[in-house]
Structure 1
Amino acid sequence: MALRSLDNTLPLSPERPKKTVKVAISIPKQPAVSKVNDENKLPLDPSVVAPAVDAIDYISSENLKPVSDPDVKFKSLMEGLESKDWLKICDSLNDVRRLALFHSEILLPILEKVVMVLVKSMKNPRSALCKTAIMAASDLFKSFGDKLLESSTPNDAVDQMMLQLLLKASQDKKFVCEEAERTLNTMVVSTTPIPLLHKLKVYVKHANMRVRAKAAVSISQCVSKMETGEMREYGLVSLVQTSAELLKDRLPEAREAARGMVLLVHKAVMEDGENEEEEDKWQNFCQLNLAAIDALTMVKLVASQ
């Protein structure tokens, strides 16, 4: 039996949508902000609106005063330096500076421990603490000079401090960088060139090219302080080889420092009392102690001056 077509049947009526209940929510009006000054209102406490930021006073060495009772201050010094409160460490570092400048004999027995605290503080991400430690290092160099360089152990506290100074002098934070450069200059002025050169020469091949450049500047400053006899004592060959290494450096600062060293070494070589033709003495010296290409560079550099 054939089924009847349903085309003519009425479509089913869709369900009527249910009405949604609308609920009126009253939103309280925000009080209008008056732009007129109300003289009867108390001013807001600035400490509530903006909490005070801890500030550090950077005291120059010239403005530091002696400690009234150095023995008492010394007893609590290490406790302050090892504090977990960075502000207390800054205060203790300033005490270190005062003791170093005015009561250095008291500080001498714990000098290495103090230097290690300085190294740790220079590594701290707080720039204020880092700068205070760098300033303290400067005062240590002023007060103790060569005594800081006497340790013969490799990678000692002073070596670590020197590396941190070179690193900080290479970084982008200007006020830290400038302070580190001043301390490096103080280091050169306050110490004997030969012991300092032995400390600095290892950084000529440092992986960080900025460290190499800063080390080159300090080495050049050391050489400029030396008499011809001191340069011979340290070794003219060692100096010319260091200069040749730095002349190939990527940074102009290192190359410029090396050029200054080359001219100083050349002067010392030419003052040597050996009987030799003046024009050949420098060339022979370079060819004897350097690779051929480096020797040629040295000869051309001097000839261009």
Structure 2
Amino acid sequence: MSGTALRDLNTLPGSERKSESSSKGSFARPCTGSIDENADKSQRKISFSLVSAPVNGEEAVNAGAEAGNAEVEYIESENLTDVEDVDTAVKTLVDGLGSKDWVVVCESLNNTRRLSKFHKETVLDMLVDVIPLIVKSLKNPRSAVCKTAILTSSDIFNAYNDYIIDSLDPLLVQLLLKASQDKRFVCEAADKALVVMTTQVSPTLLLPKLQPYLKNRNPRIRAKASICFSRSVSQLGLEGIKSYGIDKLIQDAASQLSDQLPESREAARTLLLELQTVYEKSTDLTPIVSEHPELSSWEHFCQSKLSPLSAQAVLRVTNVAREGIVLGS
């Protein structure tokens, strides 16, 4: 992993909140009733969208601070329409994504989404240049740019699946960071993008990418990575889990059972129950020829693959879950 990625991962959410709040101050604009005639067309459009209804007292400050981001149009993937001029959109895409004008950047991000949806092959060869610029927008302290970049990431996953695996690391770092911060609407968008990633990228390729983040020093990063890891394993299916290696997966899941945050622990429990089900189905399909069939039990498997303390913790989780199912039946 690059030094830049490590520095990004070690950035605490508090510092991002500071950047967000400071950027919002310059983002909001008061209702002036007029507009600069020298401004370009796109800027005039955004300026009008920032005008909000007058309110009194402290509400006016809060509404003013949120006005800009609240009025930016965030288009859901299913509502995207095709670009009017494909050639022009393609030719100006990279320059637009690298622009210093945040309005142009947002427009270019949305064009990236449209092109990925309606002209997938056209953008495929450009991904090596496009993805680093999407990552740059994900780091942008302006919430409008950041959220639009998150939406763009989702559409990239939907369109290109495994084609982006070699460029995934910087996207993954930023999405885990954004999903771990306190700004709710950015966090929710990043969570959705991570869901798309785990369903669209092959788990055999994605799991090795996620694994290092299970041990990240930021507990919120670990929690998000654990959830993604568990969800991605589910995509493997019974045969896929057997091929990937239950022994490797149980060690990863066991390491999260004692994690600081409940989200990590819950993701680990979910994964362990799935691994237990797969293991027991596998042994049911294999005739036991040994005089000691207990050696093929889930308990023996855990004890043979884990340290005594880890095995005890895993068996406690899976046995409690099994007892609950028996009592409920």
What TM-score bracket applies, with the shorter chain setting the length? 0.7 to 0.9
Give 1:90's aligned residue.
106
Residue type of the partner of 2:88? V
Aligned-partner Cα distance in 1 for 2:217–2:127: 29
Residue type of the partner of 2:240? E
Q: Given the alignment, which residue of 277, 291, 295 partners 2:307?
A: 291
Is 1:240 aligned to residue 235 of structure 2? no
- Pick the structure with greater CA Rg: 1
Question: In the alignment, is the contact (CA less than 8 A) between 1:169 and 1:214 conserved in 2?
Answer: yes
Tell me: CA distance 1:265–1:76, structure 2 relative to 1, closer, same or farther (3 Å).
same
Give 1:221's aligned residue.
231
Q: Given the alignment, which residue of 71, 75, 80 partners 1:59?
A: 75
Q: Given the alignment, which residue of 182, 196, 220 partners 1:186?
A: 196
TM-superposition CA deviations, 1:212-271 (whole Å, max 9, x none): 101111111112222211001111111100001111110000000000000111111112
Is 1:138 aligned to residue 140 of structure 2? no
Q: Given the alignment, which residue of 171, 192, 210 partners 2:220?
A: 210
Aligned-partner Cα distance in 1 for 2:186–2:128: 23
Long gaps (5+) in structure 2 = 1-30, 36-46, 51-67, 322-329
Tell me: CA distance 1:179–1:45, structure 2 relative to 1, closer, same or farther (3 Å).
closer
Aligned-partner Cα distance in 1 for 2:78–2:312: 49
Structure 1 vs Structure 2: percent identity of aligned residues? 42
Residue type of the partner of 2:149? A
Residue 45 of structure 1 deviates from its aligned partner by 5.6
Residue 69 of structure 1 deviates from its aligned partner by 2.4
TM-superposition CA deviations, 1:169-213 (whole Å, max 9, x none): 010000000000010111112122211111111110111110110
Residue type of the partner of 1:281? S
Equivalent residues in 2 for 1:265-280 (5 A)?
A: 265-272=275-282, 273=286, 275=288, 277=293
Give 2:97's aligned residue.
81
Q: Secondary structure at the match of 1:304?
A: helix
Aligned-partner Cα distance in 2 for 1:285–1:200: 25
Question: In the alignment, is the contact (CA less than 8 A) between 1:287 and 1:295 conserved in 2?
Answer: yes
Residue type of the partner of 2:304? L
Tell me: CA distance 1:47–1:191, structure 2 relative to 1, closer, same or farther (3 Å).
same
Aligned-partner Cα distance in 1 for 2:303–2:295: 13
Give 1:15's aligned residue.
none
Residue type of the partner of 1:72? T
Aligned-partner Cα distance in 1 for 2:154–2:214: 22
Give 1:161's aligned residue.
171
Count of aligned residue pairs for this structure pair: 254
Residue 278 of structure 1 deviates from its aligned partner by 5.9
Give 1:257's aligned residue.
267
Question: In the alignment, is the contact (CA less than 8 A) between 1:270 and 1:278 conserved in 2?
Answer: no
Q: Secondary structure at the match of 2:125?
A: helix
Question: In the alignment, is the contact (CA less than 8 A) between 2:256 and 2:264 conserved in 1?
Answer: yes
Residue 72 of structure 1 deviates from its aligned partner by 2.1
TM-superposition CA deviations, 1:137-169 (whole Å, max 9, x none): 0000010011111x2xxxxx3101101101100
Is 1:120 aligned to residue 136 of structure 2? yes
Aligned-partner Cα distance in 2 for 1:62–1:197: 28
Question: In the alignment, is the contact (CA less than 8 A) between 1:80 and 1:92 conserved in 2?
Answer: yes
Aligned-partner Cα distance in 1 for 2:117–2:276: 39
